[in-house]
Structure 1
Amino acid sequence: MASDHIRRWESGAIAHAVTDPFGLGPVPWLRGSETYFDDTGHVVPWYVDAVPQQHTRGDARIPAPRTSPGGPRSADDVHRQIKGFTATGAVAPGEAIDFHITVDPPQEFAVDIYRIGHYAGDGAAKITTSPRLSGIVQPPPLTADRTVSCHHWWQSWRLQVPSHWSVGAYVAVLTTADGYRSHVPFTVRDDRPADLLLLLPDVTWQAYNLYPEDGHTGASLYHAWDEQGALLGEADAATTVSFDRPYAGAGLPLHVGHAYDVIRWAERYGYDLAYADARDLHAGRVDPTRYRGLIFPGHDEYWTGPMRRAAERARDHGTSLVFLSANTMYWQVELGASPSGTPDRLLTCRKRKGPGKPVLWREVDRPEQELIGIQYAGRVPEPRPLIVRNARHWLWEATGAHEGDEIPGLVAGEADRYFPRTALPAHDERILLAHSPYTDTGGTLRHQETSLYRAPSGAWVFASGTFAWSPALDRPGHVDPRIQRATANLLDRICKRD
């Protein structure tokens, strides 16, 4: 097939449109509904960039890759120029992390390690570079009932994390000798005391991972492919996905940018942060009661039972909870061991398929509102203003926000609200800080709400109720000083235990 007629699915890099994770943000911002039909009749994920220029009839509408002239090119899931993943979850300083990488054609490659942070506005800092490594073509992924796994790939490089490294969110940037590039995110955690524990939503990231995005093999909990290379919906998607595989496209998870926005902002403001993954919370590798607050920085839709119990125990112990996105804790999931016995490498969510009960938390009599204070209401087709409510509350103090003020574009992607017929958590105080109308895809008028309550333990539980809160902290073109100050008011109070 001629290169100018490549269908969108034939390049994960094009689909994700990610080549510089440390410039304007590592993923495109919200672009409408979850999927839509393109000109060829294929269903395309919502994270595909639209094409600004006009094309003649019959041409494929291909977004231009975001690369600078002569710069590195993004690897894709069809040609697999370079792709990789880590064989473990988060690691502590002094531990080792193993990378499994495929390179096609075989050639030397190098790995640059970056840490996400403010770093005088750069957004990340290069921490180290590997020696030149010899790349090989790894075997094709193994598939079984739409579960895709690369657990049989040979180890390519072991990174011994020095004891002096800072905890945080890291990205390994893989670059071949002939200039192709991909990414592998990982987390360095520690048990040291800190005011706030930031939990990266790696379980939700994996749920959305369509690797390999090749029009044939890949599958997520949302999509798979038919024989013509068109995307199928949830009814035909995987019920189990593996952490033993790269992320699709350029190697960064969908929604990862929201977490990075929060990290850059929080480190700029000087908050004392510890880091962990959602799987650490699940496995009990972190004790959330040791912290004054837990921050859930991005889209965090998939929760195991142990994750929820740990968060509830933390709240009841006096640890505050900060949910900076929407559609949190919607699906109940299970984590299982890989074929080799490594724990927490398989993620299962049966959704509407197979025997047993539905696995929405609210359908097993444990609605998310009982922890969060509000819960998922639906998608927001076009960004709408967030309407400030109870502007005299301390959260809005010194923000300049007044009752009824509109903060443009802050209700976007998905929205939460208070459900009057659903039980509320036990609380000493409770307030709604925004009430924002929007029209859903069916033309029905709905509303978003932002919630804050104080548990009997003294813990605060905040829920933004929108995808757009995190980008308003540090995403160029989306920063809003009112949201920055409101978030600082919240975290300051949590850190002071007011």
Structure 2
Amino acid sequence: MGSEQIRRWESGALAHAVTDPFGQGPVPWLRGNVTYFDDTGQVVPWYVDGQAHPAATGAPAVPAPRTSGPRSADDVRRQIKGFTSTGAVAPGEAVDFHITVDPPQEFAVDIYRIGHYGGDGAAKITTSPRLSGIVQPAPLTADRTVSCHHWWLSWRLQVPSFWSIGAYVAVLTTVDGYRSHVPFTVRDKHPADLLLLLPDVTWQAYNLYPEDGRTGASLYHAWDEEGRLLGEADAATTISFDRPYAGAGLPLHVGHAYDFIRWAERYGYDIAYADASDLHGGHVDPSRYRGLVFPGHDEYWSAGMRRTVEVARENGTSLVFLSANSMYWQVELAPSPSGVPDRLLTCRKRRGPGRSVLWREIDRPEQEVIGIQYAGQVPEPHPLIVRNAGHWLWEATGAQDGDEIEGLVAGEADRYFPRTPLPDHEERVLLAHSPYTDREGVRRHQETSLYRAPSGALVFASGTFAWSPALDRPGHVDPRVQRATANLLDRICKRD
């Protein structure tokens, strides 16, 4: 039983996260609790006890219960796990939480809003009353699709009309000290300079809940009957939004968005908030904003998402892609079994009927929107090499042609593909050209792109995972990237 349980804890999602050396991003309640690198430089998930001796098999040791401070809940014992069934909400609306607690006991929910807050990274907005926790039914599974839509409602949070819009995290804590997280978004329809789009569609694509070695599945992984992790050929083709996020309950790569939010709110940018699923569902009117900002890994796009963004660009709304590998897979969203719209996400990849769903394989390459497109993974961080330093984006950064910004090409990289069509443009410039070596030892390169559409819209693509962390993540901040990003946003927002 012991070794089987250890196998179940070998996280496919976290294994995939190794390609992103900037996983979660610091938030106040996680500092010191999440470790990706041990003393030897090996990547270890949050649940491995560095003080324990690994088993003879070399498998990580399951940590002994800590005697002080909160402990992260997991998907094997499900001490406390939850999700919201409501998607983004407006002030005055309600957020419905569905939570399982094992063993049954009281718990409380602290609500944090992500922001600068004097460097804290978040502020506690409210705390729930003590709530009675129950063990919810086991997740339902059908052909690798895992759903908890049948869980009872545990708590309804009525969002006061005076709350600020933004990215929120509910922190769930049991009486005996186990903790998990549930992210959610509060949005409204008021105009703003910038609309930040949280990539919840991509977050779910990577979500392996439950990470239990048996039933969990994402668009990347599932398990066989022996508890061994399987790859994409055996992964789910349809996944549900109605389930918790795996592990500690925060999505993979969520830190990229939080890094941008902390930095942008520190400097007073006028920002509205929405989810990618809002973009799909027609809840976003791009004409209300000067620019749309995609702050994190945003790989999975529906036809509706892409169409809305293309129309926005044609009507003069700028686009800012601060990560890499955006708009790569085409997906479909469908109603849940109970009829709630857009709660099931399907991406066929290489399985099942229907056409191939890479955008570039249906003659709609992402470069036609973004200006560059996905080139591959970057196994070790490399420097970003500045190009065209006389351009206004690099103004007052001190950057010169050929300068190296250490570690800025990381995780995954985009570049310009010469044989792939470019978008219509009035002007276009590549602002970085950065060699790196892939896993096979092949020499490749990353590029950073900016073009002006005929409408006047600017479209920027960083071409790397590490751009947002360079804005406001301790240990990764680079003033040149901060200033370049400010130059871009100030021009989009028409700041003097």
Cross-structure match for 2:20 = none
Aligned alpha-carbon RMSD (Å): 2.6
Cross-structure match for 1:146 = 144
- Out of 89, 105, 111, the position equivalent to 1:113 is 111
Amino acid at match of 2:86: T
- Out of 326, 343, 352, the position equivalent to 2:324 is 326
Cα shift readout 1:307-337 (whole Å, capped 9, x = no counterpart) = 0001001111100000000000000000000
Distance 1:465 1:420 in 2: 16
Mark the CA change 1:173 to 1:57 in structure 2 (over 3 Å): closer, same or farther.
closer
Amino acid at match of 1:79: R
Equivalences for residues 46-85 of structure 1 within 5 A: 55=53, 58=56, 60-62=58-60, 70-85=68-83
Equivalences for residues 254-273 of structure 1 within 5 A: 254-273=252-271
Equivalences for residues 61-460 of structure 1 within 5 A: 61-62=59-60, 70-460=68-458
TM-score, normalized by length of structure 1?
Answer: 0.92
Distance 1:442 1:61 in 2: 27
Contact 2:453/2:459 (<8 A) preserved? yes
Q: SS in structure 2 opposite 1:453?
A: strand
1:52 to partner: Cα distance: 6.5
Contact 1:149/1:245 (<8 A) preserved? yes
Runs of 4+ aligned residues of structure 1 deviating over 4 Å after TM superposition are 11-20, 23-31, 45-57, 63-69
Contact 1:30/1:413 (<8 A) preserved? no
1:9 to partner: Cα distance: 3.2
Cross-structure match for 2:28 = 22
Q: SS in structure 2 opposite 1:195?
A: strand
Contact 1:97/1:158 (<8 A) preserved? yes
Mark the CA change 1:442 to 1:59 in structure 2 (over 3 Å): closer, same or farther.
closer
Contact 1:82/1:104 (<8 A) preserved? yes
Distance 1:60 1:176 in 2: 32
Distance 1:268 1:130 in 2: 28
1:381 to partner: Cα distance: 1.0
TM-score, normalized by length of structure 2?
Answer: 0.92
Structure 2 unmatched ranges of 5 or more: 18-22
Contact 1:13/1:74 (<8 A) preserved? no
Contact 2:24/2:253 (<8 A) preserved? no
Mark the CA change 1:21 to 1:8 in structure 2 (over 3 Å): closer, same or farther.
farther
Contact 1:20/1:66 (<8 A) preserved? no
Contact 2:371/2:450 (<8 A) preserved? yes
Mark the CA change 1:247 to 1:422 in structure 2 (over 3 Å): closer, same or farther.
same
Q: SS in structure 2 opposite 1:322?
A: strand
Mark the CA change 1:49 to 1:172 in structure 2 (over 3 Å): closer, same or farther.
closer
1:61 to partner: Cα distance: 4.4
1:354 to partner: Cα distance: 1.4
Matched positions, count: 485
Contact 2:52/2:63 (<8 A) preserved? no
Structure 1 unmatched ranges of 5 or more: 32-37, 39-44
Distance 1:87 1:70 in 2: 32
Mark the CA change 1:218 to 1:5 in structure 2 (over 3 Å): closer, same or farther.
closer
1:10 to partner: Cα distance: 2.7
Mark the CA change 1:228 to 1:64 in structure 2 (over 3 Å): closer, same or farther.
closer
Mark the CA change 1:20 to 1:82 in structure 2 (over 3 Å): closer, same or farther.
farther
Indicate whether 1:485 and 2:483 are aligned: yes
Amino acid at match of 2:153: Q
Distance 2:276 2:385 in 1: 31
Mark the CA change 1:63 to 1:309 in structure 2 (over 3 Å): closer, same or farther.
farther
% identical equivalent positions = 78
